[in-house]
């Protein structure tokens, strides 16, 4: 046999591997290892998320955020009340218009449907 | 996995299964393992690894293949790709496990070489048993796993010239032992 022919014959013989009797058992073993690895990874991500959450929450508490938020919210409430007072005449006009409260509910409903469509699209993209 | 799901997966091409596996479908990868598991295990055994250790290494190779399945672009055969991974996994293990390395790379001709009965077809496994361990390993890496001589030298951490001479000697011995096989194959081609 020529050198090239020998090489090709040996390559062919290597490619002609016998099918082992326990091929399915072997495949199941690999599958189990993959599943175990996947479960371990998910658990690790969960634990990491929990630890991150606890650290984040403790940081919020330590930074005295709630008392600051309370102070900010009383200030915001004051601003909001004055804003509503200025808007009240226009709101009355809207409510007393030809469509009235139904138009507002319709607009809100359409907004919810639009949000739903956007969310569905985002989920599909992911 | 349901029977219909298994049937669906078994009808898909390797490249399609690899693509599903790349998107996280472990069942699709399981089908690839079912198809190519025996070939990978046989290669490792032919390299000189014992059956139990070969199965262990083959599992590691398939796990490594799943981890890097996105790198498989379908340009070559999946079987060839995973065999290369298996050969490298085996060589990496041998770097750490001196016992395995010594067994794989011993430069000794077996005490009971395969007996050649002229006119009888000899199978590759039988013929490989007649090679020294290092020759068998180099031939298996180059012709079974599809590594180039340079890649095999790198995987074995041996000089390129040493690998080439192991391959040459191994091929010469296989040529002598497999001559009836080669003639039979030529005859089959002629008839076909």
Annotated domain spans of chain A: 96-126
Select from B10, B21, B35, B38 the residue whose CB has the most chain A CBs within 10 Å, as the one to mutate to test that interface: B38
Helix B26-46 × helix A23-62 angle, to 10°: 120
CB proximity list for B157: less than 8 A, separation 6 or greater: B95
Record: contact B30-A31, CB cut-off 8 A = yes
Q: Which residue of A has its CA nearest to B67?
A: A34
- Report the alpha-carbon distance of residue A29 to residue A51 in Å, rounded: 33
**Residues in chain A closer than 8 A to B30 (CB atoms):** 27-28, 30-31, 34
Q: What share of chain B is helix, strand, coil (3-state, %, to 5)?
A: 75, 0, 25
Determine the topology of domain B1-105 in CATH. Answer: Rna Polymerase Sigma Factor; Chain: A (1.10.1740)
Q: Quick one: pLDDT at residue A97? A: 63
- Residue A82 distance to chain B (closest CA, Å): 54
On whether the CB atoms of residues B71 and B78 are closer than 8 A, the answer is no
ipTM over 0.85: no
Q: Is B29 on the interface with A (CB under 8 A)?
A: yes
**Which of B33-42, B111-120, B176-185 is least confident?**
B111-120
Q: Is A126 on the interface with B (CB under 8 A)?
A: no
Is the pLDDT score of B115 beyond 80? no
| Helical ranges in A16-64 per DSSP H | 23-62
Q: Which residue of B has its CA nearest to A9?
A: B182
pLDDT digits (tens, 9 = 90+) for A37-53: 877 777 888 888 888 88
DSSP B29-48: HHHHHHHHHHHHHHHHHHTT
Q: Quick one: pLDDT at residue B184? A: 47
On whether the CB atoms of residues B44 and B58 are closer than 8 A, the answer is yes
On whether the CB atoms of residues B171 and B106 are closer than 8 A, the answer is no
Any idea where the domains of chain B sit in the sequence? 1-105, 111-192
Determine the topology of domain B111-192 in CATH. Answer: Arc Repressor Mutant, subunit A (1.10.10)
Which residue, chain included where needed, has tokens 């390993």?
Answer: B137
- Report the alpha-carbon distance of residue A86 to residue B191 in Å, rounded: 99
Q: Is B142 on the interface with A (CB under 8 A)?
A: no
Is the pLDDT score of B124 beyond 70? yes
- Report the alpha-carbon distance of residue B114 to residue B176 in Å, rounded: 12
The mean pLDDT of B140-169, rounded to a whole number, is 92
What percent of chain A clears pLDDT 90, i.e. is strictly above it?
10
Mean pLDDT of chain B: 83
Q: Quick one: pLDDT at residue A49? A: 87
**Residues in chain A closer than 8 A to B69 (CB atoms):** none
């Amino acid at each position: 046999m020529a050198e090239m022919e020998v090489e090709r014959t040996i390559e062919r013989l290597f490619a002609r591997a016998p099918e082992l009797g326990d091929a399915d058992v072997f495949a199941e073993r690999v599958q189990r290892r993959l599943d175990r690895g996947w479960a371990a990874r998910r658990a690790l991500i969960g634990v990491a998320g929990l630890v991150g959450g606890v650290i984040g929450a403790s940081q919020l508490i330590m930074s005295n955020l709630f008392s600051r938020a309370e102070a900010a919210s009383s200030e915001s409430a004051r601003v909001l009340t004055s804003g509503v007072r200025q808007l009240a005449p226009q709101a009355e006009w809207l409510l007393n218009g030809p469509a009235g409260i139904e138009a507002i509910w319709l607009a809100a409903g359409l907004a919810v449907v639009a949000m739903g469509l956007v969310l569905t699209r985002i989920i599909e993209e992911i | 996995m349901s029977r219909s799901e298994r049937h669906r997966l078994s009808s898909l091409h390797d490249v399609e299964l690899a693509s599903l596996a790349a998107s996280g479908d472990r069942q699709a990868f399981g089908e690839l393992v079912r198809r190519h598991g025996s070939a990978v295990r046989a290669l490792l055994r032919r390299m000189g690894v014992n059956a139990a250790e070969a199965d262990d290494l083959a599992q590691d190779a398939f796990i490594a293949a799943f981890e890097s399945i996105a790198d498989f672009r379908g340009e070559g055969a999946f079987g060839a790709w995973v065999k290369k991974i298996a050969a490298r996994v085996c060589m990496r293990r041998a770097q750490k496990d001196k016992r395995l390395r010594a067994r794989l790379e011993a430069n000794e001709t077996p005490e009971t070489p395969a007996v050649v009965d002229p006119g009888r077809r000899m199978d590759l496994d039988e013929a490989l048993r007649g090679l020294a361990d290092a020759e068998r390993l180099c031939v298996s890496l180059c012709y079974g796993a599809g590594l180039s001589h340079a890649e095999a030298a790198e995987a074995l951490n041996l000089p390129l010239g040493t690998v080439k001479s192991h391959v040459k000697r191994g091929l010469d011995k296989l040529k002598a032992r497999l001559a009836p096989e080669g003639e039979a194959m030529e005859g089959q081609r002629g008839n076909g």
